[in-house]
Amino acid sequence: MAYFDAASAAPLHPVARQALSASLDEGWADPARLYREGRKARMLLDAAREAAAEAVGCRPDEVVFTPSGTRAVHMGVAGALAGRRRVGRHLIVSSVEHSSVLHSAEAFEADGGTVTRVAVDRAGAVDPAGYAAALRADTALACLQSANHEVGTVQPVAEAAEVCRAAGVPLLVDAAQSLGWGPVEGDWSLLAASAHKWGGPSGVGLLVVRKGVRFAAQGPVDERESGRAPGFENIPAIVAAVASLRAVRVEAAQEAVRLRGLTERIRARVPELVPDVEVVGDAVRRLPGIVTFSCLYVDGEALLHELDRAGFSVSSGSSCTSSTLTPSHVLKAMGVLSEGNVRVSLPPGTAEADVERFLEVLPGAVAGVRDKLGAPAPVTRGGPRELLVDSLGKRCPIPVIELAKVFGQVPVGGTVRVLSDDEAARLDIPAWCEMRGQEYVGEEPAERGTAYLVRRVS
């Protein structure tokens, strides 16, 4: 089985396994106690904190270990907002942040705060000018991921941090996807990360709060982790997490070159091997191991099952694979095709032969799913100047498939009106038009759902 979902969780690094096993015998006691066993545990915890600080590029007393990366984000956002409450109650985030950041923003709004969500371009990147424009006198905090978890696009953190610093606003960086590849550049103020993203054990997060940043921990506070992460520290897991971070960093430069070559091969060959595919994300400013593409006329869940049967573990941002039946907020913010979405995220050590076998298997898997869904063959004959496609009650990718089936029946200049009540259609029909070189006229309200108008131009 080829595991291609490292962006969700990387396989446990051998060094993490060794460190975890070794520290189980030394790190079980309470590090706050003064007896021998407690001192041993404290020494392990202190050494891990120093090593983590070196990897991040900060002071050891700025590092806090949390029960997860999500908890690190929640604690960091809540604490920074509370610490600067006198300044105001305005938060800035990008529209493609991880759900942990967006959920924190939603909770802040529910509590009376205001949130500005900065848009991204079609590659998924923010413009630092967007952060500059969003800043207000009452802005308490800004958040920006170092790299996107779904499409791999690297964000301009250093430039955004400079803009925020000039305005006196702290910037919290979600570095979960990038920290294993290197420290985050720029004059950021807070940072959160998660060990299972770089091959450490799950259940360990990092929260870094720079000295001088106003911060008020929320909820019950005890004496552990500077009062910012209450509860008994899982010292063996922390030691393993930091040991694996140091290990992957040693390998990072060489492995990044190798994985980047493999993902560039996928980016180039998938459109050659599979028709009607859109490769998404920035082609240059991207993480080494992530490549994402979307296939027209494909049910994302069905495709993932086909690839799983063929021996490949991949993930998807397709609405078809979601219990909510709404497209990924990342793909939606980018304005790219969401149906048939596949994210390939290669862990360090991925064999070139596995990538080649994936490229051999993919065309047949996509073709099989398209056949089952009745995907269209090209039609070029003339017909009525306007057609109505009723796709009410049908989910992705059926509305687009039905559009494509009849589109060749209208002459150049003719229009097709697609009725749909699926949220994904608002994203996928314009994306189909762009891929096909046809004109997306816009949408109109309908008695049920929405009418999407498409004009044939060629």
- Spatial neighbors of 412 by CB under 8 A, at least 6 apart, are 456, 457, 458
Ramachandran category for residue 352: left, alpha or beta (phi over 0 → left; psi -120 to 50 → alpha): alpha
Amino acid present at 296 = L
Instruction: Report residue 290 as tokens.
Output: 């992530």
**Could you give the CA distance from residue 109 to residue 234 in angstroms, rounded to a whole number?**
33
Cβ neighbour number for residue 293 with a 10 Å cutoff: 23
What contacts 189, CB < 8 A, 6 or more positions away?
80, 161, 164, 170, 171, 172, 209, 210, 213
The residue type of 437 is G
Torsion of CA 324, 329, 334, 340, to 10 degrees: -40
* Active-site residue flag, 433: no
- One-letter amino acid identity for 350? T
Q: In this structure, are strands 277-280 and 290-295 parallel, antiparallel, or unpaired?
A: antiparallel
Between CA 39 and CA 418 the distance in angstroms is 69
Of 295, 320, 396, 433, which one is the catalytic site residue? 320
Q: Rounded to whole angstroms, how far apart are CA atoms 283 and 281? A: 6
What gap in Å lies between CA 144 and CA 190, rounded to an integer?
A: 10
Counting beta carbons within 10 angstroms of the beta carbon of residue 10, is it exposed (0 to 12), middle (13 to 18) or buried (19 or more)? Answer: buried
Q: Are 339 and 298 in contact (CB under 8 A)?
A: yes
Alpha helices in 145-234 (DSSP H): 157-166
Q: How far apart are the first and last CA of the chain?
A: 44
The residues annotated with a catalytic role in the active site are 320
